[in-house]
């Protein structure tokens, strides 16, 4: 796992310097503390920078790396799990290897297949390849979006990096808030690609590549999408689907055990992480290292007992860490720096600490359970949305003269959730906006001085649903919800929180539930096998039956460390109030009164406000770090009452 960066100057001024590339790469040193490198081409109009976390081929694999004749150069962040299978064929066709690394396989595939090399790769990746003969730069991000890649145009130059801070290390890059992205963040909890919260800085969407010519011509291409109309729903029986899910998941775990350094598992004691431990333990000749985290004196976050039981059952080498609410406050400036742009999920804090626990115990690679709930219908909210769907659509079909006053009454007299549905239905907006509950439009308008409408969010949603429909996606609401999660919440919130918080501790996280072959099969499973007889994740639980103890499978679902409603209280709420009162510059970002109102309601016992408080507190601290440029010590002072 690495940090990559680079510059291409379309005006060919010959000013790309190794010192600048090193500064960009060193801004991400946490992504690669083991090695570094840089490359500038002979014309000095293109350069790559690199930081390495050594996982495979520890002695070799130095980057930037070239092909045999030096005509192609690559910097690569990620892991290609099928590189050893691809290598013999490439060697048989005349390619000469200098290392054992997966990086070199990408480079040789590119020589044969050009930009289509991505289709042959199994793994997680973000990479850049410079082709001197074609005078072409290729940027690519993996299908699901496990690894990030950002880019911007500035003064006739394209800059890119694994993290936004790498781009900001380039001289002259401005830091301004993108107002439309800000409104999107308040709707979705993370800014959808290709936007970021920084004006002019974009992120490459999952399953996309950017092909750039030396003359400045750029082409953004989607090479993979989670729609396979040719598959249809599988005709396999329930038993056959169970066996195939089990086989594909075991294959995915085995692929992700590729490592020359110690690896382990984040274990909560739920079915997702426990299934991972169970299958991994079958493939190893030593105990699996497992890592758990809990919040002190918070029963909803504390899954140590079931995690210990799973670890004992599978003879794992188990480790635990307990954090406090004050740890959330203390981590805020550091967390905002590592996130680059805010992620509205307090799970980032326990993730950071459990990753630190792994690193402190010598484990550098971990497997995590992200993606299972999204693929296999693990959330009760999905089932509620499916039941609500027909009524929502019926209300949408009513004349506006009826919908508008009903929605206005609903906003006044119904609960926040029901009122929000009525407001969106009155506008004819899609029902499902993702697994994150954003702020109502009225609140956004107040906070952003009238700018914060839902227009951008609705436009983005309609674009995604329209793309899926045009590609032949099936009409099931569950399939639509899964598709949207694969386009937004998974790549830009859940996977980014894992990437940023693990890499903050120089730990690599791998995601076996999101192997693209498993994803494709999961998308072909009919909804009735995912939610059956009132049971969520039915087919996955059936696949785990007989491998996991029944008490693990039948245990009630709990979110990782619970949810914002139990994590965000006390010192965290006090810190939010203190920050907006002590730092007047935050008024340049937003009207703080809605945040103060949420904090007051939280103190009166409304725990449901926790998510929105964290969303806004995270945003405020991000502004302090990245826009105001404040030191961590100053922010820490403002967070105290």
Q: Active-site residues: which are they?
A: 2
Closest CA to 383 of 559, 227, 532: 532
Let me know how long the chain is. 641
CA 22 to CA 38: how far, in whole Å? 7
CA 495 to CA 385: how far, in whole Å? 23
3-state secondary structure 131-181: ECCCCEEEEEECCCCCCCCEEEEECCEEEEECCHHHHHCCCCCCCCECHHH
| Residue 541 three-state SS | helix
- How is the chain split among helix, strand and coil, in percent rounded to 5? 50, 15, 35
Which uninterrupted H or E stretch holds 421?
helix 416-426
CB 193 within 8 A of CB 206: yes
Residue 260 phi, psi dihedral angles, 5° rounding: -105, 10
CA 573 to CA 52: how far, in whole Å? 38
Radius of gyration of the chain (CA): 24
CA 540 to CA 314: how far, in whole Å? 20
Closest CA to 185 of 607, 592, 590: 590
Whether the link from the prior residue into 555 is cis, omega within 30° of 0, is: no
CA 395 to CA 398: how far, in whole Å? 5
CB 212 within 8 A of CB 136: yes
**What are the structure tokens assigned to 553, written together?**
């499978």
């Amino acid at each position: 796992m690495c940090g990559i960066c680079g510059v291409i100057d379309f005006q060919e001024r010959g000013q790309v310097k190794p010192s600048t590339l090193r500064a960009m790469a060193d801004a991400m040193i946490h992504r690669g503390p083991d090695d570094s490198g840089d490359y500038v081409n002979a014309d000095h109009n293109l350069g790559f920078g690199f930081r390495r976390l050594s996982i495979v081929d520890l002695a070799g694999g130095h980057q930037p790396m070239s092909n045999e004749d030096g005509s192609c150069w690559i910097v690569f962040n990620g892991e290609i799990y099928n590189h050893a299978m691809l290598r013999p064929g490439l060697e048989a066709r005349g390619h000469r290897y200098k290392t054992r690394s997966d990086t070199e396989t990408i480079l040789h595939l590119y020589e044969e297949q050009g930009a289509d090399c991505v289709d042959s790769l199994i793994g997680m990746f973000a990479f850049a390849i410079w082709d001197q003969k074609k005078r072409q730069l290729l940027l690519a991000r993996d299908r699901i979006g496990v690894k990030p890649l950002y880019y911007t145009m500035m003064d006739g130059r394209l800059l890119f990096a694994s993290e936004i801070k790498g781009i900001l290390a380039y001289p002259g890059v401005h830091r301004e808030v993108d107002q439309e992205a800000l409104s999107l963040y308040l709707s979705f909890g993370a800014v959808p690609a290709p936007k970021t919260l920084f004006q002019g800085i974009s992120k490459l969407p999952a399953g996309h590549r950017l092909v750039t010519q030396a003359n400045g011509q750029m082409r953004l291409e989607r090479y993979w999408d989670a729609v396979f109309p040719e598959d249809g729903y599988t005709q396999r029986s329930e038993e056959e689907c169970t066996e195939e899910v089990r086989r594909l998941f075991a294959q995915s775990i085995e692929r992700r055990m590729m490592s020359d350094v110690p690896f382990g598992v984040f274990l909560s004691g739920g079915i997702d992480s426990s299934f991972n431990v169970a299958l991994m333990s079958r493939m190893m000749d030593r105990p699996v290292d497992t890592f758990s985290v809990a919040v002190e004196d918070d029963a909803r976050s504390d899954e140590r007992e079931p995690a210990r039981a799973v670890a004992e059952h599978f003879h794992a080498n188990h480790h635990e860490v307990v954090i406090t609410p004050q740890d959330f406050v203390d981590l805020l400036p550091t967390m905002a720096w590592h996130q680059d742009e805010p992620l509205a999920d307090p799970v980032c804090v326990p993730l950071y600490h459990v990753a630190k626990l792994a690193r402190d115990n010598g484990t550098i690679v971990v497997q995590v359970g992200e993606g299972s709930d999204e693929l296999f219908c693990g959330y009760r909210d999905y089932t509620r949305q499916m039941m609500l769907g027909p009524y929502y659509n019926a209300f949408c079909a009513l004349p506006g003269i009826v919908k508008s006053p009903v929605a206005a009454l609903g906003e006044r007299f119904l609960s926040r959730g029901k009122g929000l549905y009525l407001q969106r239905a009155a506008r004819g907006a899609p029902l499902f906006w993702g697994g994150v509950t954003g702020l109502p439009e009225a609140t956004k308008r107040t906070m952003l001085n009238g700018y914060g409408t839902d227009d951008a969010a609705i436009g983005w949603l309609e674009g995604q649903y329209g793309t899926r429909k045009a590609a032949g996606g099936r009409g099931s609401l569950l399939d639509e919800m899964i598709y949207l999660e694969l386009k937004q919440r998974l790549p830009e919130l859940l996977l980014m929180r894992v990437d940023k918080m693990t890499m903050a501790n120089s730990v690599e996280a791998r995601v076996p539930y999101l192997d693209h072959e498993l994803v494709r099969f999961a998308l072909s499973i009919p909804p009735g096998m995912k939610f059956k007889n009132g049971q969520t994740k039915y087919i996955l639980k059936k696949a785990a039956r007989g491998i996991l103890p029944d008490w693990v499978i039948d245990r009630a679902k709990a979110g990782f460390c619970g949810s914002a409603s139990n994590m965000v209280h006390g010192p965290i709420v006090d810190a939010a109030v203190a920050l907006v009162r002590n730092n007047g510059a935050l008024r340049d970002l937003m009207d703080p009164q809605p945040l103060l109102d949420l904090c007051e309601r939280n103190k009166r016992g409304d725990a449901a406000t926790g998510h929105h408080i964290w969303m806004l507190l995270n945003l405020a601290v991000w502004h302090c770090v990245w826009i105001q440029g404040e030191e961590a010590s100053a922010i820490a002072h403002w967070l105290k009452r």
